[in-house]
Structure 1
Amino acid sequence: MNLLWIILVLLVGVVATHWIAAAAGGRIAPPLIQIAAGAVIGLTTNFGVTLQPELFFLLFLPPLLFLDGWRVPKRDLQDNAAIVLSLAFGLVFFTVLGVGLMLHAILPAMPLPVCFALAAVLSPTDVVAATAMVTHVPIPRRLLRILEGEALFNDASGLVCLRLAVAVMMTGTFPFWPSLGGLAWAAVGGVALGLAFSWAIASVKLWVVARLGENTSSQILISLLNPYGAYVLADAIGCSPVLAAVAAGMMMSWIEVSGQALAVTRIRRNAVWETLQFALNGAIFLLLGEQLPGIMARVDAGAAESGHAGLGWLAIYVLAVIAALAVLRFIWVWISVFIWLRLNKEFAHGQRLPNGRLVLAMSVAGVRGTVTLAGALSLPLFLPDGSAFPSRDLAILIAAGVILGSLILANVGLPRLLKGVPLPQEPRQDQQERMARIEAAKAAIAALGRAGEPQGPEEGRRLAAVALVADYYQHRLAQLQPEVRGAQEEDALHAEERLHVLALRAESAAIVGLVRSHRISSDIARKLLRETDLAEAAFETASED
């Protein structure tokens, strides 16, 4: 089957599986449905897709990581930085050590470096899977932000551990200090390069726009190429391409709220990125399911490598690994939260011990995804002496089983663990949004006041239009409805529409000033800017008719 048909089938499968998930009422997470559909495709067609890890990482990871870095609330990430970094780095190393030793204990036929390599690909959670699994689950905001932040950064530490373990297996030496230096360079260099690359692209783009004007389509295409450029450049100089893509997205978030792009550009760009995210997320899990029939064909070889024949033993190994991952994660999260409570007593509100139910939910929510499978498939086929890489098929089988098991566990366990858990209000967020709306309305009224100064012969009609628009803003300032949008009468004058645009641009400028001065968070700014963009685009369209 040629590439075009594969792409078409995948896109149709993404749409169909989301319909099935909606028909199931959210009881089954879309990733599980997509994996099942992918397995059906693999069994009933001659796709024969070979999941090449390097190509998979390059095609799928940059835009998805970029978008997650772009959309993750920076203030929440900053507030939870200690716990996020503890999970993204400390927990990964703790998991590699614990699961690696456990694997060697239950699978003595698997060499210790291979055990650590398998533990390394299993240690990081998957950002796509983690986000997809909690979409329809009522989850405390803080818990959700920690999961998102952890999944953004732990791929880098896991892949570094994987390279180290493979190097030990291939060379028989343990380059500790070079590996430690490589980790530092990968992390710091990747973040710095991603930030610098995204800023440089934005600066060049702004310079061109100032001289040639803004073309919406080219702006959107540049935003799509941005993550790939950061990823490829970081990989070429030995930095972490994963962290480079995430950091580029974070810089994009800061650039977005600068208000430099046209409203129509921001609206269309968001629509394109949302569609791309929808398609790529679904395609990833469909491809994972499509690989399962081929992976299951290796059961006999994998069983022979383990020293115990039969599918039952492989299932025992998979369950043991899932249990070990959950236990190690529970221990690390509990200790991390306990230390945080002791160091931040003013925010603990008298709580001395972590909430065991939420810690258990954090453990269950640590799902693995296709990055884990791609990491397992990236294990070399042969050793330097030409002999087969030991236990490779067994490692791939266990990785695939852990992915499925962790997704099923999260789908079944999370709703039950979080059922009845009170979801605290976010007063700070509500207060920030209310304050931002007030400041934006005041800025719009001030702009209308300046527009109402005497300027020409048709003063009476223009002043009437100013008064009409200003009355709308005064009413909105008094009511402060959370979702008020600009209303336009069918017989409105073009002068009134232009004044609405003037006022909306003043609102946008006020919102940009608030986020730049750190008085509101970036996610609130994006929400409010989206409202002003939609209203501005509507009035500009009406004024052209």
Structure 2
Amino acid sequence: MHTIEVVLAMLVAVVASGYLVRVLPFSLPLPLVQIALGAVIAGVFNRGHALDPDMFFLLFLPPLLFLDGWRIPKQGLFRDKGAILELAFGLVVFTVIGAGLLIHWMIPVMPLAVCFALAAIISPTDPVAVGAIASKAPIPKRLMHILEGESLLNDASGLVCFRFAVAAVMTGSFSLATASMTFLWVAAAGLAVGVAVTLGVSTFQRWLWRRFGEEPGAAMLVNLLIPFAAYLLAEEINASGILAAVAAGITMSYVELTGRVSGSMRVQRSAVWNMLQFSFNGIMFVLLGEQLPGIVERAVATMSESGHQSPWWLAVYVIVINLALILLRLLWVWLSLRWNLLRARRRGDEQRQAPSWRIVVATSVAGVRGAITLAGVLTLPLFLPSGDPFPARDLVIFLAAAVILFSLVGASVALPQLLKGLQLPADSGERKEEDVARKLASKAALAGVERMRQQLVQNQTTDNVQLYNDAASRVSLLYQRNLEKEQGPDADPEKVRRMERGYRQLRGAGLNAEREELFRLTRRGLISDEISRKLIRNLDLLESRQRE
């Protein structure tokens, strides 16, 4: 019964956080509000919940990483694959070495392998936290794609480094060759499992649909189970379940391009995934907040392990470690940028220019840590094989949790200031692609309407032929508008924008009036609830399309 109460309390906290960020007089990222609510639940109401890291990884990470991989823009992901891989793998190793040595210098009583374990678990950024910060800061779209790609891939590299550092603490030995081969297996096998699971399940599902028809409820449930299947199968063969979930999501985005899923199922599935994403994201940060009171209490109680008695040294450690993480990231980003510019000029690309220093600094500050770091550090064993307690375990957990909070607060404060008023070159490529897509789709639609009209009018009476011709004309007018929007090179862009804005406002007013009338007719009993829901749903879909 206690577990059910805790789950309900966390869900209430997630709902409350969604409203609190709107009513607070100052702007705060949603994760910070959720962490604070979790701390209130644990510290004030004494309703905390002991976090089981294995259960946390299994329940929350696969669906969220799957969805991030599914929705991340693939064109940007592959266009900037070099920068993403450098951050996701090279930066992680660089951070583990640099931060690990600094922590050992600052806290000499902490064994070097434990310092490397701490540096490894705080090296990966968190896709959920990065997305939450991005909603409050005007991050350039291309930079956001790089940060999202990095956060999806660096979890595996960070956790592998963490695993080997912990193994070195437990056994007292470390093999670079073994670690390298294990990492290759963990990454390659994880990616392969994710791709195979999505392709296998999708192929089998299409076969079932052809044989027995489409069942929306079952199809939705299968879609929700894919990330768990990929994660568990990868973990079973000692591969990266995290990379498997990401790869499964990326593969699903390509499976979608086959167009074999009905539009109604896509609408339903999108609603389910949006609800799941909001709930799971919120619960992760509420859980993090629930752990904080206990983490701080245990860290203060074990301060003597660091060689200092004053609890204020904890604040010193946190500030130094976070500044070191930012500086290491800044150095890596700057070196990577100079190297890529040098390579571009050697290829003869003299027009490529270095981005503004504000973008470089923003990239460094945007390395936000999240729930993956906390769940990973909580997997530290309690005892060594000899029976002795794991060295400085509570201190390591506290420092990891403090890094999460510091990075969230720092990014939410610094990023808006760094990027405020930044003039970026206009990216007209997306607008052109959208215009081309709309026109080509409209031409295809007109051709499809004409083909269907010709089929319908065959062997029909004159009255029916006229009815079908009138219906085809009305449908064709909707698509003809997109083809008539072709603007010459001398067209005023501001005039075009005003025209489109006016069209959307007028169209929105019409949709609202239709909805109000349908509600009125339903209240008066002139139409049934079933008809009302169907018609209002259609209007809602039209309105959502207008807002795109």
Same fold (TM over 0.5): yes
CA displacement 1:29-83 (0-9 Å, x = unmatched): 1111111111111112232311111111111100100000000000000011000
Given the alignment, which residue of 425, 446, 468 partners 1:462? 468
The corresponding residue for 1:92 is 92
- For 1:432 and 1:347, locate their aligned partners in 2 and report how far apart those are by CA, in whole Å: 28
The one-letter code of the counterpart of 1:442 is K
Find the aligned partners of 2:41 and 2:75 in 1 and give their Cα distance: 42
Contact 2:130/2:148, CA 8 A, preserved across alignment: yes
- In 1, Cα distance between the equivalents of 2:324 and 2:47? 35
Is residue 449 of structure 1 aligned with residue 450 of structure 2?
yes
Partners of 1:425 and 1:72 in 2: CA distance: 21
Is the alpha carbon distance of 1:351 and 1:447 closer, same or farther for their aligned partners in structure 2, counting shifts above 3 Å? closer
Task: Work out whether 1:415 is the aligned partner of 2:421.
Answer: no
Is the partner of 2:302 in helix, strand or coil? helix
Q: What pairs up with 1:109-508 in 2 under 5 angstroms?
A: 109-345=109-345, 350=351, 352-453=353-454, 454-457=457-460, 458-479=464-485
Contact 1:140 1:424 in 2 (8 A): no
Q: Provide the residue aligned with 2:13 in structure 1.
A: 13
Tell whether the 8 Å contact from 2:111 to 2:391 is kept in structure 1 after alignment.
yes
- Code of the residue aligned with 1:407 in structure 2: it is L
Deviation at 1:479, TM superposition (A): 2.9
Inter-partner Cα distance in structure 2 for 1:363 and 1:475? 46
Aligned partners of 1:111, 1:160: CA distance in 2, in Å?
19
* Whole-angstrom distance in 2 between the partners of 1:363 and 1:94: 14
Aligned 8 A contact 1:139 1:423 in 2: no
Q: Distance in 1 between matches of 2:103 and 2:3?
A: 39
Letter matched to residue 448 of structure 1: V
Q: CA deviation at 1:464?
A: 1.8
Residue aligned with 1:323, SS: helix
In structure 2, runs of 5+ residues without a counterpart are 487-499, 515-537
On the 8 A contact 1:263/1:533 being kept in 2, the answer is no
Q: Residue in 1 aligned with 2:533? A: none
Q: Mark the CA change 1:40 to 1:29 in structure 2 (over 3 Å): closer, same or farther.
A: same
For residue 39 of structure 1, what is the amino acid of its counterpart?
A
AA in 1 matched with 2:418: L
Tell me, in whole angstroms, the C-alpha distance in 1 between the residues paired with 2:222 and 2:349.
44
* Larger CA deviation: 219-228 vs 17-26: 17-26
- The alignment partner of 1:479 has SS state of coil
Offset from partner CA, 1:245-274 (integer Å, 9 cap, x none): 000000111112321111110000000000
Whole-angstrom CA distance in 2 between matches of 1:225 and 1:425? 41
Contact 1:198 1:252 in 2 (8 A): yes
Which deviates the most, 71-80 or 371-380? 371-380
Given that residues 113 and 166 in structure 1 are in contact (C-alpha distance below 8 angstroms), is that contact kept between their aligned partners in structure 2? yes
**CA positional deviation for 1:210:** 0.9
Task: Out of 151-160 and 5-14, give the one that drifted further.
Answer: 5-14
Give the secondary-structure state (helix, strand or coil) at the position aligned to 1:298.
Answer: helix
Q: For each residue in 1:456-480, what CA deviation from the matched residue of structure 2 results, as whole angstroms up to 9, or x when unmatched? A: 2222211221122123321232137
Task: State the match for 1:508 in structure 2.
Answer: none
Which residue in the other structure is 2:60 paired with?
A: 60
Helix, strand or coil at the partner of 2:309: coil
Task: Provide Cα deviations, 1:349-373, integer angstroms capped at 9, x if missing partner.
Answer: 7455442211111111101111111
Rate the CA distance shift 1:150–1:532 in 2: closer, same or farther, 3 A.
farther
- Quote the sequence identity (%): 47
CA distance in 2, matches of 1:420, 1:27: 18
**Amino acid of the residue matched to residue 478 of structure 1?**
E
The TM-score, its normalising length taken from structure 2, stands at: 0.87
Q: Which amino acid aligns with 1:216?
A: P
SS at match of 1:285: helix
Displacement after TM superposition at 1:24 (Å) = 2.9
Return the offset for 1:534: 4.0
- Count of residue correspondences: 498
1:483-512 CA-to-partner distances (Å, cap 9, x unmatched) read 97999999xxxxxxxxxxxxxxxxxxxxxx
Q: Give the alignment of 1:516-535 within 5 angstroms.
A: 534=541
Q: Report if aligned partners of 1:301, 1:394 keep a CA contact under 8 Å in 2.
A: no
> How far is the alpha carbon of 1:13 from its aligned partner?
0.7
Shift of residue 163, structure 1, vs aligned partner = 0.8
- After superposition, give the CA deviation of every residue in 1:138-181 in whole Å (9 maximum; x if it has no partner): 11111111110000000000000011111111111112212111
In 2, Cα distance between the equivalents of 1:93 and 1:537? 44
Distance 1:537 1:258 in 2: 23
Q: Distance in 2 between matches of 1:147 and 1:58?
A: 24
* Structure 1 unaligned regions, length at least 5: 491-530, 539-545
Greater shift in the superposed pair: 354-363 or 84-93: 354-363
Q: Could you tell me how far apart the structure 2 residues matched to 1:245 and 1:533 are? A: 32
The RMSD of aligned alpha carbons is 2.4
Deviations 1:342-394 (A, max 9, x none): 33359977455442211111111101111111111111111001111111111
Rounded Cα–Cα distance in structure 2 between residues aligned with 1:363 and 1:66: 26
Contact 1:101 1:116 in 2 (8 A): yes
Residue 452 of structure 1: how far off its partner (Å): 2.6
2:95–2:119 contact (8 Å) kept in structure 1: yes
What SS does structure 1 have at the residue aligned with 2:18? Answer: helix
The separation in 1 between residues aligned to 2:246 and 2:424, in whole angstroms, is 29
1:466 maps to amino acid: A
CA contact (8 A) 2:97 2:116 kept: yes
How far did residue 424 of structure 1 move? 3.4
Tell me if the contact between 1:264 and 1:533 (Cα under 8 Å) persists in the aligned partners: no
Question: In 2, distance between residues paired with 1:409 and 1:160?
Answer: 27
